[in-house]
Amino acid sequence: MRKALLSSFCSRVIYLSILAIPLGSGVDHPERQQEAQKKLQYDVSVTLKLVQVHVSDKKGNPVIDLDPSDFEIHDNGEIKSIAHFERHVLSRTEAGPPAKPFVDSASQPKLDRKTLFLFDFAFNDLAGIMKSKRAALAFIDTQASPEDEFGVISYRARKGLTLHEYLTTDKKRVRQVIEGLGTKEIMGRAAEVESEYSQDHEKLDEALGVDGDIIKKTREADERIYEVQVGDFISSLAELAKALRYIPGTKNIILFSSGIANFVLYGSEKYDTSFYSRYGNPALRERYMALGRELSASNCLIYAINAGGLGTSHRKDRDLLGDLSLGQLAKDTGGKYFDNIASQDAINSQIQDLTGTYYVLGYYINENWDGKYHKIEVVVKRKDCQVLGQTEYSNPKPFSEYSSNERFLHLIDLALSDKSHLQEAIDLPVLVLPYEIRTGVGLFIIAKIPGQKIEEIGRGKTEFVTLILNDRNDVIELQKKDIDKKLSPGVDSFISSSVWLPSGKYECRVVLRDMMTGKGARGSCSINAPEKPGSGMILLPILLLKSGCGTFMIGEETNTKKETEPVRLSDIYPFDRAKYCPIIGTLDRANTRLFALVRCQVSNPNRLEVDFSSYASFVSSGEKTPVPTRVMGSYQQEGAQLYFLELFTGELRPGQWSLDIVAEEAWSNQRALTSRDFVVE
């Protein structure tokens, strides 16, 4: 995730070290859990399985003129009928990035290109890291099309994987993230096997008269440390593969690394300090091969670029190189290995050809929720064609069986993606309401859970997550609430959280998801946290209400302000929940009378005598209509006065409206204005 969030919430780094947020298990009551799992396990549906492949000729050039009749798909040995077909061909321009891809499809394209840059800071050196950053930036500048989605991940020894940026089409943001990866990342490097095992080092020890037994034991200890770091690297990438499994389509992972020293996985005749260094570590080798299968099953293709490049070619000792491990991972996943990062332009061009021109084949399957693996084979009937792409996949599994890593990626996909890759998420109307301005601004984030959507979201144990992003798209605040109450179908519910922020512009993202089924809803809105004026009266944005319905508020009791002071929406904006409910989202035109809670902040609320006037403006025409306004009551609070207003709007025509409320103070003749936009259906 993003740097600011990592620094704020690193209490439990996800095992693949993507992020540190204690999200909890979300386990329901045993009997309800067993019933839901049983239902999910045996509820089989027919779904369209999409397979993305690249086809090249004997010279490695992309083949771009194939039709559905040229392909044959085998799923566990069974030939499947092709029900969906896409041909993606990236056109090239004279200069600059490629133009928009041409897509030949009977329907709208379902799979855009997804690319993840994976920077290895453990099995690499400073020169390799700098070359890797330059190559990645060049790929974005010269090869990216507008529809491409990019993400950025790094790996460091002892820390594991860090997700710096989730899949996004914001190329500028991705560039900033890559440029911000500093040389300090190299502090997590794996053991320097080159210096530990080089002939020069060995000769130096002998020249100094160091005991040979000590040299051997020290070397073996260093080798064990290195093997542990290799094991951590394999485990981290395996967890990443599992987490990416549920994102549809091919995930192209461009891995920048110098690789794992050959002698560790494949053995050596030269070094005879231990069994493993002579014959390689068979356990690590098997785990590494399993990693390739795991990545392939998750439809992740590795394009491995040797960051050592020509800098390693002068070495006569191939045992210390990492070319074999990089080559194997690329081959096992259906990607490609590039042995010299110095050929940056040629490499980027080849990756562009391999990932930018592809076919999407779809066939129907029974979607069993059992997590089982399938072996798939795509055959091209035309002669002399080579197919690269997915060779395995796994059936989905119940959300209750997701690991913490998988649940976390599911949350990030809902909260931060341009479009959710994992499911069709329901939209949540969201309102941000400032309630106090001092040295910072107190804000309520209120989400409306539409009653008619309750069944689609789920009715089990749910969680509500709020994320606040600054103007650089860094997540600076995250809150989570567990909701044990069942949501009632047909009844609108509201949930709120509160934050305290410095003045500035922010964006809020909220996620509500059922922790048994994974069904979710999400919403977002912009926040403008104003600065406190030097003096005078402040009219804060209004909480707009309508009558004729009750309000069901959930999860208020856990909000906090300034770390210690509890603050609840019902305390700051009190109203009769049996008679009124907040207007968030759209308003029915039949509502001819509205109500507003207006919070007026002044230095001395005891002397306030305020008159109110209101106007409704139709946004498209600018037409302004006076709205008769009556004060129904007022409440004095610390540093503020709260007014309950009745607004006689009459029947408003459908469209976007803006409501302006003006307050005029009798003693000082001060005026203040607040506005609220809403949509009439």
How high does pLDDT run on average in the chain?
79
**pLDDT: which is higher, 98 or 143:** 143
Q: Which pLDDT score is estimated for 298?
A: 84
Q: Which pLDDT score is estimated for 306?
A: 94
Distances (CA, A) of 232 to 193, 225, 244, 283, 308: 16, 11, 18, 13, 21
> How do the domains of the chain map onto residue ranges?
45-89+359-390, 109-356, 585-681
Query: How far apart (Å, rounded) are the C-alpha atoms in residues 499 and 460?
Result: 27
**pLDDT: which is higher, 568 or 631:** 631
What is the side-by-side order of every strand in the sheet holding 655-665? 586-587, 671-680, 655-665, 610-618, 623-627
Is 198's pLDDT higher than 60?
no
**pLDDT: which is higher, 532 or 561:** 532
Q: Which positions ≥6 away from 155 have C-beta within 8 Å?
A: 118, 119, 120, 121, 122, 161, 162, 233, 236, 237
Query: What is the CA angle 157-158-160, rounded to 5?
Result: 70
Over residues 226-248, the mean pLDDT reads: 88
Over residues 509-514, the mean pLDDT reads: 89
Is 616's pLDDT higher than 90?
yes
Query: What is the CA angle 298-302-308, rounded to 5?
Result: 150
Q: Provide the total of helices (H) and of strands (E) in the chain, helices listed first.
A: 15, 37
Q: Which pLDDT score is estimated for 329?
A: 94
Domain 109-356 has CATH 3.40.50.410: yes
3-state secondary structure of 73: strand
Confidence of residue 254 (pLDDT cuts 50, 70, 90): very high
Question: 436's torsion region: left (phi>0), alpha (psi -120 to 50) or beta?
Answer: beta
Q: Which residue bears the tokens 């507003």?
A: 596
This prediction has a pTM of 0.70
Domain 585-681, what fold?
Answer: Immunoglobulin-like (2.60.40)
Confidence of residue 459 (pLDDT cuts 50, 70, 90): low
Q: Which pLDDT score is estimated for 44?
A: 52
Q: Which residue bears the tokens 């042995």?
A: 339
Strand 102-105 to strand 475-483: parallel, antiparallel, or no bridges (unpaired)? unpaired
